[in-house]
Amino acid sequence: MAKKKLNKNWLHDHINDPYVKLAQKEGYRARAAYKLKEIDEGDKLIRPGQVIVDLGATPGSWSQYVRNKLAGKDGGGIHGTIIGLDMLPMEPIADVHFILGDFREARVLRQLEALLDGRKADLVLSDMAPNLSGIPSADAARMEHIIDLAVEFAQLHMKPSGALLVKCFNGVGYSQIVEKFKKEFVSVSSKKPKASRDKSSEIFLLGRALKNPVV
């Protein structure tokens, strides 16, 4: 009964959410686009000409936002490269290269390297999150593992001067994740955009400039 009530409350909040309504109006696949938009507008992350990789891209709202930022004013094509990766399929987005699969697999990395064509990413985005069990210690370990993967990816495929933005949760294990970021990046800051629900412990970490890039 409690679960049913919880689902009903969530549905009510979702239907009445201004960001959900805005996403429907502006053609974004998810309200998450406005989290990235707010962070980008505050930190000037996305600029024409960049190579941007979106980890865990499905359903694609972050890639949609990036595509809109890199699009020419005339609406024809983009100035830059967007590569989305996910283990789940994604409906195509104009000018976004999508690779289906796990980015730790050789097949996926070969496709990625072909698209990068010797270049490194200016910006790596990760809205990835694990399936949560409700057990804080287990969930913290899963989240930390996903963030470790994003950091390793950035070390291998991002310019030393680039930036990595990841989603995490402010709770058990959060301080350890921040410490890890501080070991790997010259500048580290946390972001809680308005589009991130107040009830949610979701928070975003932004790391700029790698201390130990893999050459």
Rounded to the nearest 5°, which phi and psi values hold at 6? Answer: -60, -45
Is residue 25 situated within a structural domain?
A: no
Q: Is 198 annotated as a binding residue?
A: no
Answer whether residue 108 is part of any domain. Answer: yes
Q: Please classify residue 3 by burial: count the beta carbons closer than 10 Å to its beta carbon, then call 0-12 exposed, 13-18 middle and 19+ buried.
A: exposed
- Structural domain includes residue 170: yes
Task: Decide if pLDDT at 15 tops 70.
Answer: no
How do residues 40-92 score in pLDDT, each as one tens digit?
999 999 999 999 999 999 999 999 999 999 996 666 689 999 999 999 999 99
The three-state secondary structure class of 93 is coil
Within 57-208, residue ranges assigned H as helices are 61-70, 106-116, 136-157, 174-184
- The pLDDT assigned to 212 comes to 84
The residue ranking higher by pLDDT, 10 or 175, is 175
Q: Which domain holds residue 158?
A: 30-210
Q: Any known ligand binding at 127?
A: yes
Checking if the pLDDT of 135 tops 90, the result is: no
Cβ 84 vs Cβ 52: under 8 Å: no
Answer yes or no: is 75 within a domain: yes
Query: Would you say residue 11 has pLDDT above 90?
Result: no
pLDDT at 7 exceeding the cut of 80: no
Flag whether 84 is in a domain.
yes
What is the per-residue pLDDT for 95? 95
Identity of the residue numbered 135: I
Ligand-binding annotation for 10, yes or no, is no
Measured from the Cβ of residue 63, the count of other Cβ atoms closer than 10 Å reads 28
Q: Residue 69 domain-assigned?
A: yes
Is residue 5 annotated as a catalytic residue, yes or no?
A: no
195-215 tens-digit pLDDT: 988 778 899 999 999 998 877
Distance from C-alpha of 59 to C-alpha of 20, rounded to nearest angstrom:
14
Task: Look at residue 213 in the predicted model and tell me its pLDDT.
Answer: 83
What is the number of domains present in the chain? Answer: 1
The CATH number of residue 85's host domain is 3.40.50.150
Sign of CA dihedral 78, 152, 91, 16: negative
13 within a domain of the structure (yes/no) = no
Cβ atoms of 18 and 113 within 8 Å: the answer is no
**Residue 6 reports pLDDT greater than 80:** no
Q: Is residue 10 part of a domain?
A: no
Q: Report whether 86 belongs to an annotated binding site.
A: yes
Is 122 known as a binding-site position? no
pTM score of the predicted model: 0.91
**Predicted confidence (pLDDT) per residue in 79-131, tens digit:** 999 999 999 999 999 999 999 999 999 999 999 999 999 999 999 999 998 88
The single residue of 35, 69, 159, 167 carrying the catalytic annotation is 167
Confidence at residue 10, expressed as pLDDT on a 0 to 100 scale: 45
HEC per residue, 175-190 = HHHHHHHHHHEEEEEE
Per DSSP bridges, beta strands 158-169 and 121-126 are: parallel
Q: What percent of the chain has pLDDT over 90?
A: 72
Question: For 64, left (φ over 0), alpha (ψ -120 to 50), or beta?
Answer: alpha
